[in-house]
C-alpha cells in the first residue's frame, strides 16, 4: 500500500486561497494608511526635533539626587509691539532683587536685554515669560543651550532673550519673571532613584525565580536535544554548503522584493488609482487561472489508485 500524493486540484485551491488572503491583507493595510493620514514629514519639523532632543536630554540625565532651593522672584512688565505713545518706564533702584528690560517693548522674534540686580552671587537663575492667560514659558538665554544661567559674583546679570511669537498678542502687556535659586540643605536621594532601585530588585528576584523554575524543563529538553543531535545527518554536505553560500543572495533578493512591495503599498494608500487597478487586474487574472486549473484537474484527473496491487 503506497500513500497518495496531494492532488493537483488541492494545490491549485491552496494557491488561490493564498492569493485571496494576500489581497485582503494588502487592501486592509492600504485602507488603514489612507484613513490614519500618516505624514512622515511631521516628525522632521524643527519644533518636534527640539522636543525630542529635550526628552532625550532628560532621559539621559536622570535626577539621582534632589535638593531644596530658596527661590527669589522678581517680575517686570513688557509690551508686545511698540505703540506710538509708548514710553520706557522708569525703574527705581531698591534693596531687593529687581530686573530691568531694555527696551520694554518689541515685536515677536526680536531680542531684548534683561538686567538683574541685588541677586545672590554665583547662583542659578532662570527667565520665564508669562502671558495674559497665566501660561508660563521658559525663555532660554541667547548663546546658551540650557534654561538656567549663573549670576555674577556681585549678584547682577545681563542676558538677552527672544520675544516669543504668541497669537493675537500685539498690544498686550505680558510679564517677564526672573527666578534666582540658592541651595538650602544637603542633597538627598531623589524619589526617582528609590523607585529605580526598587524595580531593579524586583527584576532581579523575578529573574531568579524564573531561572529556578525553568531548570527542570530545561534539563528534560536538553536530553531530547542531545538525542536529536546524535541522529545521523542525512543532508549531503554539498547541499548544505550551497545553502549557506546562497543565503546572502536570498537576503538581498528578499529585501528588494519587500522594498518594492512596501512602495506599492504606499502608492495604493496614497490613492494611486492606476496602481490599484493594475493590482486588482493581476489578482483577478491569478484567481481565474487558478480556478481554471482547478476545474481542468478535476475533469482530467486520474482515477484513484487501487488499494491493492498485484
Burial 97-111 (b: 16+ CB within 10 A, else e): bbbbbeebbbeeeee
Phi-psi region for residue 231, left (φ > 0), alpha (ψ -120 to 50) or beta? Answer: beta
Residue 299 has pLDDT above 80, yes or no: no
Measure the CA–CA gap between 281 and 287, rounded to whole angstroms.
Answer: 10
- 251 vs 205, residue with greater confidence: 205
Prediction pTM value? 0.46
Domain ranges of the chain: 67-188
- 269 vs 163, residue with greater confidence: 163
Is residue 111 reached through a cis peptide bond, with omega within 30 degrees of 0 on the bond before it?
no
Q: How far is CA 182 from CA 65, 131, 188, in A?
A: 16, 26, 16
Instruction: Give 183-241 pLDDT, tens digit per residue.
Output: 888 888 888 888 889 999 999 999 999 888 888 888 877 877 777 666 665 666 667 66
The CATH code of the domain at 67-188 is: 2.60.40
Of 55-59, 87-91, 149-153, 294-298, where does the model show the most confidence? 149-153
Residue 307 has pLDDT above 50, yes or no: no
Instruction: Give 114-143 pLDDT, tens digit per residue.
Output: 999 999 888 899 999 999 888 999 999 998
Cα angle value 87/90/94 (rounded, 5°): 160
Give which of 114, 77, 120 is closest to 96, Cα–Cα: 120
Q: Give residue 90's pLDDT band: very low, low, confident or very high (50, 70, 90).
A: confident
Amino acid at each position: 500500500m503506497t500513500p497518495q500524493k496531494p492532488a493537483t486540484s488541492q494545490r491549485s485551491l491552496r494557491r488561490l486561497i493564498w492569493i485571496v488572503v494576500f489581497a485582503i491583507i494588502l487592501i486592509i493595510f492600504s485602507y488603514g494608511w489612507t484613513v490614519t493620514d500618516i505624514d512622515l514629514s511631521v516628525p522632521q519639523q524643527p519644533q518636534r526635533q527640539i522636543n525630542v532632543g529635550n526628552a532625550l536630554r532628560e532621559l539621559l540625565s536622570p535626577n539621582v539626587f534632589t535638593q531644596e532651593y530658596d527661590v527669589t522672584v522678581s517680575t517686570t512688565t513688557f509690551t508686545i509691539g511698540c505703540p506710538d505713545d509708548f514710553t520706557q518706564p522708569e525703574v527705581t533702584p531698591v534693596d531687593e532683587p529687581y530686573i530691568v528690560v531694555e527696551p520694554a517693548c518689541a515685536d515677536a522674534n526680536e531680542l531684548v536685554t534683561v538686567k538683574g540686580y541685588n541677586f545672590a552671587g554665583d547662583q542659578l537663575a532662570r527667565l520665564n515669560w508669562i502671558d495674559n492667560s497665566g501660561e508660563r514659558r521658559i525663555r532660554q538665554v541667547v548663546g546658551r543651550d540650557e534654561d538656567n544661567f549663573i549670576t555674577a559674583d556681585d549678584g547682577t546679570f545681563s542676558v538677552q532673550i527672544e520675544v516669543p511669537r504668541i497669537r493675537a498678542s500685539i498690544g498686550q502687556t505680558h510679564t517677564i519673571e526672573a527666578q534666582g535659586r540658592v541651595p538650602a540643605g544637603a542633597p538627598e536621594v531623589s524619589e526617582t532613584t528609590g523607585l529605580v532601585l526598587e524595580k531593579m530588585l524586583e527584576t532581579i528576584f523575578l529573574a531568579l525565580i524564573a531561572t529556578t523554575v525553568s531548570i527542570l524543563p530545561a534539563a528534560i529538553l536538553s536530553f531530547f536535544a542531545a538525542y536529536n543531535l546524535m541522529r545521523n545527518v542525512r543532508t549531503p554536505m554539498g547541499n548544505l554548503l550551497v545553502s549557506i553560500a546562497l543565503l546572502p543572495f536570498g537576503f538581498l533578493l528578499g529585501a528588494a522584493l519587500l522594498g518594492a512591495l512596501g512602495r506599492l503599498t504606499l502608492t495604493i494608500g496614497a490613492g494611486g488609482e492606476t496602481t490599484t487597478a493594475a493590482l486588482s487586474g493581476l489578482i483577478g487574472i491569478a484567481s481565474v487561472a487558478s480556478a481554471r486549473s482547478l476545474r481542468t484537474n478535476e475533469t482530467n484527473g486520474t482515477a484513484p489508485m487501487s488499494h491493492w496491487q498485484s
